[in-house]
Amino acid sequence: MALEEKREKRPPVTPMMIEEEAALRNGSRGLPPGPWAEATGPRPRTTERHIAVHKRLVLGFAVSILALLAVTMIAVMLSVRFEECGTAADGSPRAGGNGSLPGAARQPPGAGQPPGRPEEEEATQGGEAAAEEEEEEEEWQRRRELPPWARPRLPRHLRPLHYNLMLSAFMENFTFSGEVNVQLEVRNASRYIVLHAHRMHIEAVRVAEDKLAGGVRVARSFLYPQTQVFVVVLNRSLEVQRSYNLKIIFNALIENELLGFFRSSYVLHGERRFLGVTQFSPTHARKAFPCFDEPIYKATFKISIKHQATYLSLSNMPVETSVFEEDGWVTDHFSQTPLMSTYYLAWAVCNFTYRETVTKSGVVVRLYARPDAIRRGSGDYALNITRRLIEFYEDYFKVPYSLPKLDLLAVPKHPYAAMENWGLSVFVEQRILLDPSISSISYLLDVTMVIVHELCHQWFGDLVTPVWWEDVWLKEGFAHYFEFVGTDYLYPGWNMEKQRFLTDVLHEVMLLDGLASSHPVSQEVQQATDIDRVFDWIAYKKGAALIRMLANFMGHSVFQMGLQDYLTIHKYGNAARNDLWNTLSKALKKVGKSVNIQEVMDQWTLQMGYPVITILGNETTDNVIVITQERFVYNSDTKPKDSALGDNSYLWQIPLTIAVGNTSHISSEAIIWVSNKSEHHRIPALEEAGWLLGNINQTGYFRVNYDTRNWRLLINQLTRNHEVISVSNRAGLIDDAFNLARAGYLPQNIPLEIIRYLSEEKDFLPWHAASRALYPLDKLLDRTEHYNIFNEYILRQVATMYLKLGWPTNNLNKSLVQASYQHEELRREVIMLACSFGNKHCHQQAATLISDWISSNRNRIPLNVRDIVYCTGVSLMDEDVWEFIWMKFHSTTAVSEKKILLEALTCSDDRNLLNRLLNLSLNSEVVLDQDAIDVIIHVARNPHGRDLAWKFFREKWKILNARYGEALFMNSKLVSGVTEFLNTETELRELKNFIKSYEGGAAASFSRAVETVEANVRWQKLYKEELFQWLRKSLTH
């Protein structure tokens, strides 16, 4: 009902508004009432003498006018030539300027010319405007205040209530024009209107009261690029608790990049086709229309899009009406949205086709994609699981999906895997299109989890939005956690939340968060340039890990009840972390438990890093253990100290679950809350021959270390009867041991002794944990003189299981989703290790399968190991195989196949081919923009190409930074991927020298890179020889 009332509250049309509308549309100067208006009225008759004088004056005036016209024409001609030169040189509007925009004035046939700009309302230009701005800024400086347009956040004196946005998209020259009418509520009196606008040309601006009183005179207006805002300076202050209408007419380019309103393309039947799509998160709506581009400013939106009839348009809401014109243009008017933030507003103009389904509650779900992909059924899997997942979330959260429809849009080019725009979620093709005949289980899993993630955002993020970006983890952490919960709903036997979460989230983010240069999950964000750095794996994966820990110590049913209350209370609004903590604390109280969730969780969200718990046996007192906590860091030389906290720096309240066991039995778990640096606890069931196990099933976000005796007992238990310890804890022991050794907390031999039991391990998860833990160690050693010793040791551990499992048969005719998911993933993991470390049979099998494909032109390689076979074949075989894979990469239209073929090309041992590939990666016609980064990173992971990728990165940094600098994740992913395995003093020196000389962007990423390489160099100095000595000794026994 309240929503219906909001929809009816439109600004009433007044006579003054009609007159000003006409003035704006006709390009004339609207004359306000007053002396100048009176001067245009009839005058009394003059005398004869006056007429004679007037004749002479008129003659002189006419001569002057003719001379002035001649000078003006010359000036205009020179100006046009200058503009043409400027356009040819640049081809884009000057950022932040109000100059002419090439091509932006183009209109559909019969639509007339672009609107003129009334002189008293046009955006001021030139020296006069600059002088006024400078004078005004000086006035603010005298007051020792920043002017409202120079502040990092928008001033709070205005609140948008509703946007009426009308767009015209010109796909033939990639420009668009628009008109936005914003209904504003005044909270504090001010003569300034400040809102976001960036990289656009403002044609006209008008302010009118939402009453019969009429317009408010605009003194001047200007763009302020430093803070990406547009400023309207009024002749008088806006009055408190009054409503006003702000109207802005603008135009801009449909950019050939990845953010704002940008263009993409694909080839169908040999013809290149174009589409326009938006990516506004976190701060890019301002590139598409002037708006209050901060998440707190929720408003309703009414969007209309005019486009050629050969295209269709999409937005967050369904089309209400479409108006067709005789000249081949159509305008789609979309229904009004509920209250929402700008960053998940969206639209697209494309010529895609779709398939649809409907949920039990009547939500229409459509998947739009290239016509050939729809025809092949490549979107059917995504469409079907989306319907089921909406029903799952509606049941889990007890809050209905809020919109009448949800469109899934598969686009060829996009900066991220996907974006959760409310009602119009956009996916890069590789993360939503799936051809069952050529897609592996791991590819299906990727597609599934991206869709689960984005659908969760329809509740966490869209329905309830973080107040500000410092709590972005509130939406991203939940969406990442529910990737595993939602996938468990679709495939109950896969145990994603209990098992795969550990290797894919917990273990991975602990690598990053173990650096001294890490940051808290919630971190202060002041300005637009700070926002990008909060979108990283700390927000996503650590956020998810903390949510999982919270769900486990609260109990899943109580946790679920708390989430239902949180969403119900805050729907269509904004919430901060304390709102969540308060709601969850109340949920615990309802079941008779009293835990101050905020007090516990503030330590985990406001401090960076995580603890390592050390459990020591007490030699003097039976059944008593000593538990200590300290911050875990890989390089203790860089370990920071928070002086403000003194000796209590980096303390956490830790829900430590603990169990004791012996050769045949493990006890039920008990929970100990550890909140001090060191504590003594009595464990009654602890026997002399028994062992201790902490962090049961790795539900906590911390590592556990033990004394040497307990490690020995655990290793013996794994060797004699590993199944006494749960699958999750076996994986956890492997990961903790490798990382504790890498950081110097443990001797180097302990993790290598633990994995000796793997020859008897039949579960996928411990193998997956071992494979992931061995990978960074392998990269530390793969260019060393004695690498073959390490290589031989790993092959010995893998050989038994490799022979036992064998290779999969070709399953082209079988269902993609096999009941034996765990078995097939285990087999894939073992084959990957065997081929990577040089098992001769594995190499022969891969070469045979590749040769058969080349000779028969029929790909009989089993789906689940194709990427392994392609990479191994390219690595072992000659240049002809590389060229064959390159040809297949260009010819295939299946996005899953294209991805693994491109990655396989990076596996070559031929440095010339790797260099060729690196150079081709920056050609957008050959390699999609979002895939170029993966090419460079995969070459860097290849020991034959690591130095080539590092050199290429440095030489092309300006190009790479210009292309990816504004896109979340992309620069940090690139910097990390290219540098994480550099490990020599020379490479460290090169990195530091490069950072001193480079220009712009990614400062936090480079800081992490330096720390990582320093830790790699330190490990080589301190522990490499110790490791090789133990390996030599072990291999001789």
Locate 790 and state its tokens: 């390490």
State yes or no: is 454 an active-site residue: yes
Cβ-in-10-Å burial (0-12, 13-18, 19+) of 626 comes to middle
997 C-beta neighbours (distance < 10 Å), count: 8
Question: Which pairs with CB-CB distance under 8 Å and at least 24 residues apart come from 450-453?
Answer: 450/417, 450/418, 450/483, 451/382, 451/385, 451/386, 451/389, 451/408, 451/418, 451/427, 452/389, 452/482, 452/483, 452/486, 452/487, 452/490, 453/418, 453/420, 453/479, 453/480, 453/482, 453/483
Residue in 99, 254, 229 with CA at minimum distance from that of residue 173: 254
CA-angle at 858, arms to 856 and 861, nearest 5°: 115
Distance of CA 87 to the CA centre of its chain: 34
Which residues does residue 674 pair with via DSSP β-bridges, in sequence order? Answer: 654
How far is the C-alpha of 566 from the C-alpha of 397, rounded, in Å? 10
Cβ(428)–Cβ(418) below 8 Å: yes
Could you tell me the two tokens for 303?
A: 């969007």
> What is the residue whose two structure tokens read 């959260």?
397
CA distance 278 to 267: 20
Distances (CA, A) of 262 to 94, 413, 467, 1033: 17, 10, 27, 60
What is the torsion angle, in degrees rounded to the nearest 10, for the CA atoms of residue 856, residue 858, residue 864 and residue 866? 60
Give the separation between CA 654 and CA 7, rounded to whole angstroms.
49
| Cross-strand bridge partners of residue 264 | 275
Tell me which residue has tokens 């002017």.
Answer: 147
Pairing of strands 405-411, 364-369: parallel
- Please tell me the distance from the alpha carbon of residue 797 to that of residue 779, in angstroms, as a whole number: 18
C-alpha–C-alpha distance, residues 217 and 232, integer Å: 10
Assigned token pair, 743: 């950081």
Active-site entry in 185, 294, 454, 980: 454
DSSP structure string for 85-124 = HHHHHH-SPPTT--S--TTTT---TTS-SPP---TTTSPP
What CA–CA distances, in Å, run from 725 to 368, 629, 684, 693, 728?
47, 24, 20, 9, 8
| Partners of 365 in the β-ladder | 357, 406
The closest of 440, 433, 439 to 417, measured between CA atoms, is 433
Which SS3 state, helix, strand or coil, does residue 525 take?
Answer: coil
What proportions of the chain, in percent to the nearest 5, are helix, strand and coil? 50, 20, 30
- Assigned token pair, 269: 């039947």
Strands 405-411 and 424-428: parallel
**286/196 Cα distance (integer angstroms):** 5
Cα dihedral value 29, 33, 36, 42, nearest 10: 100
Cβ neighbours of 102 (radius 10 Å): 20
Q: Are 749 and 710 in contact (CB under 8 A)?
A: no
Cβ(302)–Cβ(321) below 8 Å? no
* Residue 862 φ/ψ, nearest 5 degrees: -55, 140
Torsion angle, alpha carbons of 987, 992, 993, 995, to 10 = 120
Q: Is the peptide bond before 282 cis (omega within 30 degrees of 0)?
A: yes
**466 vs 577, 578, 840, CA distance in Å?**
8, 11, 54
Catalytic residues: 454
